[in-house]
Amino acid sequence: MSKDVEPIRSVKGMRDLLPPETWLWQRVEEEARQVFHAYNFDEIRTPILEPTALFTRSVGADTDIVTKEMYTFCDRGEESLTLRPEATASVVRAYTEHALYNRGGIHKFYYLGPMFRRDRPQKGRYRQFYQIGAEVLGSDHPSIDAEGIELVALLLDRVGIRQYTLFINSVGCPNCRAEYVRVLRQALRGVAAQMCADCQRRAETNPLRVLDCKVPGDQPLIERLPHIIDYLDAECRHHFDRVTQQLRERGVAYTINPRLVRGLDYYTRTTFEVTSGVLGAQNSLLGGGRYDGLSEMIGGPAAPGFGFAIGQDRLVLAVEAAGQLKVECPLEVYVAWMGDGALAPAGELARQLRRSGQRVEIAYQPLKLKRSLAIANKLGARFVVIIGEGELASGRYQVKDMTTGEQEAVERAEIERYLQAKREEAAPSET
């Protein structure tokens, strides 16, 4: 590192993901893709940059995300753009922009990717963070909600997380919520002065946001506020009862949390959240719910929807703590060559094995065999194929099993089959 040049480091709150950690990330993503495939979801990829209005209209102008956390700037054309702080609004925007509703039926999407919020960095929470999420558009049936939560339970099970709590609530619809907001605003008048500055402001501008406050000193006051679930109209109550009934029928355990409103304005009816004790104070692992009016908020047609987002940074921490998902990405073959005449045949063998899907490494500088074996051992190679003048003359390459120490001469044409047979032979003991 130069003493004269100040080193450039990553932006505060953003980080590099390095191997072997990325192996676990890939495995988690692979499990997620398999579960989404089983439930007939298709992948959607939306831009990282969106018009700022998409989030101010949908997420809510008085939410912390919009007022404090978004990365917003004007580009050279003086258009206000924002790095996406969440993906649901982007998916619905794509759904309406491309008129997918004209195709009829229910549309099921999933996504994986980075989001951006200028939050206070801490363990499991970064300014560039990653989400795995899903959205279902085109139906307001309670079975959609129950099936989505069932999918979440299966995904958590697949990655080895079995100790968690599922909280569920209903925030009603605009019709019944208006009466609740009136009652809540009235209740807040007597206690708002004792709460944090944000809650004092929200008590007037958006009382529901008070319920989402995380300030410890405000919690006893919030606990005594009226519960929205007690103000649901008959239709919303029936919807919520159907969702919880189906969760019981599907064997998904849940706890009703009447304070659960989530931090976004577009939610209607079902809201849910999963927490895990292994994450400490910041224990929220994922959340979601129904958003039947979101499409209209951004200028689209009526399109009822349901979705969720998993914080992948926190999910990986929970997976590591659970220790049930075993991840290895071992080097299968190291090709060691000695003598200038062996380099080309060694390179040809490496290419052949790589084309068959094996993970192979080869050094291109001349090395003595002892040094090559030391490197192979450091890299964790299962096999070393040794090619020198004697091997070239005989047409039989030496294959060393680094696990057992056994070494055997194998015909050049049989190397690939030999290695495959060795792997299959060892497979039962590696599971």
HSE of 255, CA atoms in CB hemisphere, 13 A: 10
From the list 132, 117, 124, the residue with the least C-alpha distance to 66 is 117
Mean pLDDT of 37-55: 96
CA 311 vs. chain centroid, Å, equals 5
Tell me how many helices (H) and strands (E) the chain has.
15, 16
SS3 135: strand
Q: Give alpha helix (H) positions in 131-233.
A: 142-158, 174-188, 197-205, 219-223
Same domain flag for 302 and 237: yes
Reported as a pLDDT band with limits 50, 70 and 90, residue 83 is: very high
* pLDDT value, residue 212: 79
What angle do the packed helices 174-188 and 197-205 form, to 10 degrees?
A: 130
Per-residue pLDDT at 359 exceeds 60: yes
Residue 368 sits at the vertex; the CA angle it makes with 363 and 372, to the nearest 5 degrees, is 45
Cis peptide leading into residue 85 (ω within 30°): no
CA 256 vs. chain centroid, Å, equals 25
**Domain termination site, one of 322, 348, 377:** 322
Mean pLDDT of 179-206: 88
Per-residue pLDDT at 354 exceeds 90: yes
* pLDDT value, residue 431: 38
CATH code: domain of residue 267: 3.30.930.10
**Domain termination site, one of 272, 293, 322:** 322
* pLDDT value, residue 166: 96
Same domain flag for 74 and 142: yes
Q: How many CB atoms lie within 10 A of CB 296?
A: 12
Same domain flag for 270 and 350: no
CA distance 237 to 145: 14
Indicate the helix (H) or strand (E) that contains 33. helix 21-38
Q: Which residue has 């005594």 as its token pair?
A: 224
Contact assessment for residue 409 and residue 398, using Cβ atoms and an 8 Å cutoff: yes
* pLDDT value, residue 320: 92
**Domain termination site, one of 322, 347, 378:** 322
CA distance 408 to 234: 77
Same domain flag for 293 and 421: no
- With respect to residue 10, please indicate whether it lies within any of the assigned structural domains: no
Q: Which residue has 């355990």 as its token pair?
A: 253
88 CB contacts (<8 Å, ≥6 apart)?
58, 133, 135, 264, 266, 291, 294, 305, 307, 309
Q: With pLDDT > 90 as the criterion, what percentage of the chain qualifies?
A: 68
Residue 10 tokens read as 């990553």
* pLDDT value, residue 165: 94
Mean pLDDT of 161-167: 93
- Edge to edge, the sheet with strand 107-116 lists 42-43, 107-116, 128-137, 305-311, 284-290, 268-275, 165-170, 255-256
SS3 272: strand
Enter the DSSP assignment of 122.
Answer: B
Same domain flag for 305 and 394: no
Which tens digits make up the pLDDT trace of 197-216?
888 888 888 888 888 788 88
**Does residue 122 or residue 103 have the better pLDDT?**
103
Mean pLDDT of 353-375: 95
Which of 29-38, 274-283, 365-374 has the weakest average pLDDT?
274-283
Mean pLDDT of 282-311: 92
Per-residue pLDDT at 417 exceeds 50: yes
Mean pLDDT of 70-87: 92
Indicate the helix (H) or strand (E) that contains 349. helix 340-355
99 CB contacts (<8 Å, ≥6 apart)?
none
Which tens digits make up the pLDDT trace of 218-269?
888 988 899 999 999 999 999 999 999 999 999 999 999 988 887 667 889 9
Which tens digits make up the pLDDT trace of 277-292?
877 666 889 999 999 9
Which tens digits make up the pLDDT trace of 121-143?
777 788 999 999 999 999 999 99
CA distance 60 to 81: 16
- One-letter amino acid of 169: N
Residue 353 tokens read as 């094995």
Per-residue pLDDT at 63 exceeds 70: no
**What are the start-end ranges of the E strands in 345-416?**
360-362, 383-387, 396-401, 407-411
Residue 297 tokens read as 């908020």
Same domain flag for 40 and 160: yes
**Does residue 430 or residue 189 have the better pLDDT?**
189
CA distance 46 to 54: 13
CA distance 177 to 181: 6
Per-residue pLDDT at 428 exceeds 90: no
Same domain flag for 305 and 340: no
- With respect to residue 188, please indicate whether it lies within any of the assigned structural domains: no
Per-residue pLDDT at 321 exceeds 80: yes
Which tens digits make up the pLDDT trace of 328-343?
888 999 999 999 899 9
* pLDDT value, residue 192: 87
Contact assessment for residue 188 and residue 207, using Cβ atoms and an 8 Å cutoff: yes
Number of domains in the chain: 2
Task: Provide the residue range defining the domain that includes 28.
Answer: 21-173+233-322
**Does residue 374 or residue 330 have the better pLDDT?**
374
Which range has the top average pLDDT, 176-180, 191-195, 348-352?
348-352
CA distance 155 to 319: 11
Q: Give the chain's mean pLDDT.
A: 91
Residue 389 tokens read as 């003048």
Same domain flag for 32 and 84: yes
Same domain flag for 307 and 340: no
Total residue count of the chain as it appears in this document: 431
Q: Which residues pair with 114 in a beta bridge?
A: 130
Reported as a pLDDT band with limits 50, 70 and 90, residue 416 is: very high
CA distance 402 to 289: 51
Same domain flag for 288 and 384: no
Which tens digits make up the pLDDT trace of 385-400?
999 999 999 999 999 9
CA distance 271 to 286: 11
Residue 206 tokens read as 């958006």
**Does residue 122 or residue 316 have the better pLDDT?**
316
CA distance 145 to 110: 15
Same domain flag for 30 and 117: yes
